Amino acid sequence: MKTIQNTIEKVVVNSSFGKLATNTPDFVGKLLPEIEEQFAAITGQKGEQRPARISISGFKLREGVVIGLKSTLRGARARQFVARTVSIVLPRVRDFHGIKISGIDRDGNLTFGIREHTVYPEIVLEKVRAPFGIEVTVVPKQRMDNAAAVVFYKGLGIPFEKEVKKVKSSTSANK
């Protein structure tokens, strides 16, 4: 099996906090710098601000307001992030039963989300005023089908959820 350093092209980490941006009056001045600092602590580099592309009045969202952060990790930083997420972060997630296999797309990219960023060990819980979720996409160097991708990601140590077959129970047969 190949080593991890020859197999991952990049890891894309996204975070969206649009509800905070629209519901908090002084979001840009107070909360956004704290969120950027925590995001940088998680990824190891500063995140790129992602503004809203269009205005949506129903969500009180205006065009140009920062509603997310994005960071693309490559090389050693990507490998370290995947290893840390698999070995430290995922076991700390509450009610974690594994990553769904449906998170693998037709090119072999794996995408999964973490509801709260507070499971990362770099985050000090006392300083968190606004918890946010993150989405992680792992992109391998070579395209592969789903079966090969599952084997590849299991080789990296990523835990997938076990398929549980539901058996229909007939209560009328027992009477």
Residue with tokens 């909360």: 31
- Residue 170 per-residue DSSP state: -
**Does 157 score more than 50 pLDDT?**
yes
Kindly report, residue by residue over 17-47, the tens digit of the pLDDT.
Answer: 766 666 566 666 678 888 889 999 999 999 8
In the DSSP assignment, the letter for residue 169 is P
| Contact status, residue 65 vs residue 80, Cβ threshold 8 Å | no
- Residue 21: φ, ψ to 5°: -65, -35
Q: How far apart, in whole angstroms, are the C-alpha atoms of residue 122 and residue 126?
A: 12
DSSP state of 75: H
Q: Which CATH architecture has domain 7-155?
A: 2-Layer Sandwich (3.30)
Domain ranges across the chain: 7-155
> 91-114 pLDDT, tens per residue?
888 888 888 988 999 999 999 998
- Single-letter amino acid, residue 137: T
Is residue 35 within 8 Å of residue 130, measured between CB atoms? yes
Structure tokens at 5: 């350093």
Whether the CA torsion 112, 48, 35, 82 is positive or negative: it is positive
What is the rounded average pLDDT of the residues 112-130? 86
C-alpha 150/C-alpha 141 separation (Å) is 15
